Structure 1
Amino acid sequence: MKKFIPTLLTSLLIMSCTQLQATQESPENTMADNMPKNIIMVVGDGMGPAFTSAYRYYNDDPNTPEIEQTVFDRNFTGTSSTYPDPESGYVTDSAASATALSTGIKTYNNAIGLDINREPIETVLEYAKKQGKKTGVVVTVQINHATPASYLAHNVHRYNYNAIADSYIDDGIKADLYLGGGLEYFIREDRNLVEEFIASGFHYIDKYSEIASIPKDKPVLGLFDKTNLPWALDDTNKHRLSMMTKAAIKQLENKNGYFMLVEGSQIDYGGHARDIAAAMAEMDDLAKTLEYLESYVAQNPDTLVVITADHSTGGLTIGKKTERTDPNINSKYLWRPEFIRAMTMSPQAMAIKFTDNELSLENMNKLMTFDITEADIINMKQAKLIDQGIIKQFNSLSSADKKGKRAPRPYQSVLNVITKIIDVKTNTGWGSISPSGTHTGIDVPVFAFGKGSENFNGFQDNTDIAKKIFTLLGKK
């Protein structure tokens, strides 16, 4: 018995030391084991929770009794607050929110990669590049717009588009791949940045058809339109974000991994325009991109995908009126996405066609893919006259008076009538009464899948998302 006790004590001491050593080492080992090789940050610009809910019903197959889950539903992990620095109140713009998502720091509205003192802050993309990873941005707006710029640049104001574009060369090339729009900012009278990128070793493309032939061993600059890409409904490839993302991943894959920003940029534009048809087509483009990324992560489990919005736009409401407020509704609660599922042209494109041509009720019914009324056509004709008057008045101004003013769009009043028709048909509401739908301050959803995705569970601030990504990139 006396021999047994020292032996037992020795065994317990060894076990205790072993457990202590494991406890001391486990956090570091766990973090190392949990660090993904590749990180894909996806931003649905303007994509508040009403947009993902609306997409579920828009995407629903009416021939089945169940409402099918979407890629958003099955990857939901939590929510995020979006407020900017107190200097700008409670409602953020895209620049301040994208800077929070890229740096982990709150800042003022319009800031690009700067803190409240107007000092540059390192972004997750810049840090990933320092760690030896390849980096890239894929967007459906100009590549020097607020969100991509907030990962790539540092500027006092988001609308300094030329200066931001210049910084993509002047401050050092920070990405191995850029796909989106913005040609007019990169080929200007005063400077040809495309030539400078080519001189720096980049392969340049300006057509979707050229994406398939990108050389594997070269960095890529792809600019496919003067500013933003066309609406998904009007583009030659209605899933252009998915197509660009697939090509980008193929280009960025390497032994050290990569960090990539992907933005479904024009969901926000749909909210600003209070255009549910255009917004849902943009959501569909983003959803198809995420479905591809799901399959990619299944084959590449060392990849993390994080998805969120920078803010919500327009105050979207799924269901606006009831039978008490409109006898045509015939229901207390109703939303009817079937009127927009079959649309193949954006309301903006329809408005331009109606403005440029004499279109009959029959013609408009074909364009809309559902029947409208003679009263609707009369309203559109009256709107056309209003637009003509606005253009005439603007053109009569002197050059001095036009300076600083934005030229009115010759189809805007017609577009307003068309989107109103669609809102009535679908029973869609918009909380914003601004001529251009405003941002709202509500929390936005967060989705994640792949290695390390559990870090994004629950409620968090938008700055927390960047902080977690920095940690997953190995920053102490």
Structure 2
Amino acid sequence: MKKFIPTLLTSLMILSCGQLQASDDAKTSTIAASSPKNIIMIIGDGMGPAYTSAYRYFHDDPNTPEIEQTVFDRHFVGNSSTYPAAESGYITDSAASATALSTGIKSYNGAIGVNVNKQPVETVLEYAKQSGKRTGVVLTLQINHATPAAYLAHNVHRYNYNAIADSYIDDGIKADLYFGGGWKYFIREDRNIVDEFIQSGFHYIDNYSEISTIPANKPVLGLFAETGLPWALDDTNKYRLSMMTQAATKQLENDNGFFMLIEGSQIDYGGHARDIAAAMHEMDDLAKTLEYLETYVKEHPDTLVVITADHSTGGLSIGKKTERSNPNINSKYLWKPEFLRSMSMSPETIAKRFIDKELSLTQLSELLSFKITATDMENLQQAKLADHQIVKQFKLLATDVKKSKRKPRPYQSVFNVITKIIDVKTNTGWGSISPSGTHTGIDVPVFAFGKGSEMFSGFQDNTDIAKKIFTLLGKK
């Protein structure tokens, strides 16, 4: 009997392990069957829930009684937490969050594809490439900025821009397509990385008009600006992210499928600048991109699209003052995006023009697409004088002192007044009291559609998104 008990236990253990193995195999088989051929990961940088809500009202047709759904509303599936590794507290930066979304691990703020011990961690893009898929990145900032870098590189700090750009060649080419900005970092006096890409077989373009001339089945590097692209409001193509995405899907298609990262990069910049006009038009470009991908998924049902934000920026509030706090507000509850819809130029560009030229109240109203007051004009003139003085004082500093300070933007005070005018006109609020809107620690929305999208429903951490994508790519 004593000999029988261990034998029985052993048999039961073998049977149990066999059942577990069969169960694991069944799960793997089920996942494999539901795995998409193409995976498109989209990050709206800084796009917290207030941004997608605000976009709904910005997008609304005032001539209809209902408020129309947006592409975000149609595909909302859940929320995600965004906190970084404990050493960085509760509020993430773009680098730590992109590292979480690309690798499935938490890291410190500033980390690019490395863990808290500063050791490289494999990314979903790298794994997809190794698995035989084509890979690509499409964004509206420089291609070595925090988010794309966290998918393509491994570096101890996000601001090591030249080193990150160098690694795109030195550590092996990991993508078949790069669309964004970055001449400053890829065409330098000490190194011309663009030439090295060309020597490696890449087709290079530096103008939107050349996108239609890209040879089929050839890797491509497209850099369209010195650093980031112009604001959507100012660009020659206000839907440049959508345009680049359409070209990228066509270029990356192949029998093994592709993994593509897309970033609506400058939503975050709008939040940092507390510039609701620029932010909403960046959101509009991202929305048009998603609307195109809806059509793409209908034609290619073996494609998964996952959309989220890395964090929220600026503490955006849809509504600020009420009739009790300001007699000029005629309602307790008010937000007026109609003043944003008609704008055709970014507040930053308007500020630059105001600094460079003597604009009348009428001319400035025309640039803004709505009337401003004499008091607004007086505040702008005072801001212009302040900007001139700030630049003058900076020029008087000793050379070594200048190196330790950030060079002032000669239009910053004017820009601040213009965005404040727009905030008052629309009744927009910002939670951040910093001159540059800060990140916030709130959860961000998750959207998904296409094959396998049900995996992203409900509440999850940002690291879970990467883990699920790894699973869909076949990593055990």
Q: TM-score, normalised by structure 2?
A: 0.95
Matched residues in 1 for 2:197 and 2:366: separation? Answer: 45
Deviations 1:131-163 (A, max 9, x none): 000000000000000000000000000000000
- Correspondence 1:407 to 2:407: yes
Question: Which residue is 1:385 aligned to?
Answer: 385
The alpha-carbon distance between structure 1 residues 33 and 428, as it changes in their structure 2 partners (threshold 3 A), is: same
Question: Which residue is 2:62 aligned to?
Answer: 62
The CA deviation at 1:24 is 7.5
Matched residues in 1 for 2:181 and 2:225: separation? Answer: 5
Question: Which residue is 1:72 aligned to?
Answer: 72
Deviations 1:353-373 (A, max 9, x none): 000000000101100100000
The alpha-carbon distance between structure 1 residues 20 and 261, as it changes in their structure 2 partners (threshold 3 A), is: closer
Question: Which residue is 1:466 aligned to?
Answer: 466
Question: Which residue is 1:212 aligned to?
Answer: 212
Matched residues in 2 for 1:108 and 1:28: separation? Answer: 33
Question: Which residue is 2:146 aligned to?
Answer: 146
Question: Which residue is 2:328 aligned to?
Answer: 328
Deviations 1:326-362 (A, max 9, x none): 1111001000000110100000000000000000001
The alpha-carbon distance between structure 1 residues 471 and 24, as it changes in their structure 2 partners (threshold 3 A), is: closer
Q: Any gaps of 5 or more consecutive residues in structure 1? A: 1-18
SS of the residue corresponding to residue 185 of structure 2 reads helix
The alpha-carbon distance between structure 1 residues 169 and 298, as it changes in their structure 2 partners (threshold 3 A), is: same
Matched residues in 2 for 1:83 and 1:374: separation? Answer: 45
Question: Which residue is 1:274 aligned to?
Answer: 274
Deviates more, 1:23-32 or 1:103-112: 23-32
CA RMSD of aligned residues (A): 1.3
Matched residues in 2 for 1:316 and 1:365: separation? Answer: 25
The alpha-carbon distance between structure 1 residues 20 and 357, as it changes in their structure 2 partners (threshold 3 A), is: closer
- Correspondence 1:312 to 2:312: yes
SS of the residue corresponding to residue 64 of structure 2 reads coil
The CA deviation at 1:244 is 0.2
Matched residues in 1 for 2:453 and 2:55: separation? Answer: 23
The CA deviation at 1:22 is 9.6
Matched residues in 2 for 1:261 and 1:457: separation? Answer: 20
Aligned partner letter, 1:288: K
Aligned partner letter, 1:275: D
Matched residues in 2 for 1:122 and 1:217: separation? Answer: 26
SS of the residue corresponding to residue 329 of structure 1 reads coil
Aligned partner letter, 1:168: Y
Aligned partner letter, 1:330: N
Question: Which residue is 2:104 aligned to?
Answer: 104
The CA deviation at 1:427 is 0.3
The alpha-carbon distance between structure 1 residues 25 and 143, as it changes in their structure 2 partners (threshold 3 A), is: closer
The CA deviation at 1:383 is 0.1
Matched residues in 1 for 2:38 and 2:412: separation? Answer: 43
- Correspondence 1:297 to 2:297: yes
Question: Which residue is 2:248 aligned to?
Answer: 248
SS of the residue corresponding to residue 77 of structure 2 reads strand
What count of residue pairs does the alignment treat as equivalent? 458
Deviations 1:246-286 (A, max 9, x none): 00010000000000000000000000000000000000000
Alignment of 1:18-37 (within 5 A): 26-37=26-37
The alpha-carbon distance between structure 1 residues 20 and 408, as it changes in their structure 2 partners (threshold 3 A), is: closer
Question: Which residue is 2:174 aligned to?
Answer: 174
Alignment of 1:146-165 (within 5 A): 146-165=146-165
- Correspondence 1:351 to 2:323: no
The CA deviation at 1:32 is 1.4
Q: TM-score, normalised by structure 1?
A: 0.95
Q: Is the Cα contact below 8 Å between 2:217 and 2:252 reproduced in 1? A: no
The CA deviation at 1:23 is 7.0
SS of the residue corresponding to residue 419 of structure 1 reads helix
The CA deviation at 1:20 is 12
